Amino acid sequence: MADSIQKKKYVISKGIDPFFSNVFRAYNFVTLYFKEVFRPPFHFREIINQCFEVGLRSLSLITLTGFVTGIVFTKQSRPSLEVFGASSWLPSLISIALVRALGSLVTALICAGKVGSSIGAELGSMRVTEQIDAMEVSAINPFKYLVVTRVTATTLTVPILALYCGFVGLLGSYLNVHTHEDTSFVAFFENGFETITFLDVFTSVFKSIVFGFTIGIIGCYKGFNASQGTRGVGRAANEAVVLSMFFVFVEEIVIVQVSNWIRNY
């Protein structure tokens, strides 16, 4: 009896210890980023290059997804508003939905799938082929050059992509509204932005910054600590996508609750 209890305790501790070990390593990884980001040398050229990579890699998909989101959301909302004779509220409804939630969330999910997996696979392959170890031997700080630049690039680029996604979504919504009601371009955007406040825009940009940082830091952490050869590279890329999307949804819930509390206060 005592042996079975001891064996159960060993199995439980064997499962819990790696979890807290991973949490501690992730905490050290994030802390190291904030220490290194403000220390010279600053690899501005590499940061700009990574911003270009992140933006270009996701731009076409974000354009298509944002445009289709605007059209579909307008089509689905029209019948409900027409029942109450409030179809003129469509521009305001779509603007609120895209600015407050859909623009930043859709952009973050696309970047998590495209950019997060790419960063995890790229750094993972560099780790298993010992390129990162070679950089350390060459007196180059691999964390500074590989991690700091990529996380900074995603933090800066995702908010820009989110604003672009919201604008493209509004264009798609305008085309649908114009087809049914012959509304002018200026009138659509004037009606749409009547209900948008500074808090809405600020919250959307802040969320996008947090999402971009989360996607970059998780992708870099998984890739930088990859192991077990090519199999580990695939696992790092997969875990980067899954964890990024999970944390994006958690952060979305928390930030929306805080912003609603500020708005009601």
Residues 13 and 91 grouped into a single domain: no
Residues 233 and 118 grouped into a single domain: yes
Average pLDDT rounded to a whole number, residues 73-96 = 80
Give tens-digit pLDDT for 13-34.
Answer: 455 667 778 888 888 898 999 9
Residues 32 and 49 grouped into a single domain: no
Identify the CA nearest to 125 among candidates 223, 41, 44, 47. 223
Residue 194: both structure tokens together: 């009547």
Residues 3 and 29 grouped into a single domain: yes
Residues 135 and 246 grouped into a single domain: yes
Residues 45 and 31 grouped into a single domain: no
Residues 13 and 46 grouped into a single domain: no
Q: At a CB cut-off of 8 Å and minimum separation 6, what does 166 contact?
A: 66, 98, 99, 102, 103, 104, 204
Residues 114 and 239 grouped into a single domain: yes
Total Cβ atoms within 10 A of residue 263 = 11
Residues 112 and 32 grouped into a single domain: no
Residues 86 and 176 grouped into a single domain: yes
pTM above 0.85, yes or no: yes
Q: How many domains does the chain have?
A: 2
Ranked by mean pLDDT, the top range of 4-8, 75-79, 117-121 is 117-121
Residues 46 and 28 grouped into a single domain: no
Residues 169 and 108 grouped into a single domain: yes
Q: What is the pLDDT of residue 207?
A: 92
Q: What is the span of the domain harbouring residue 18?
A: 1-36
Residue positions counted in the chain: 265
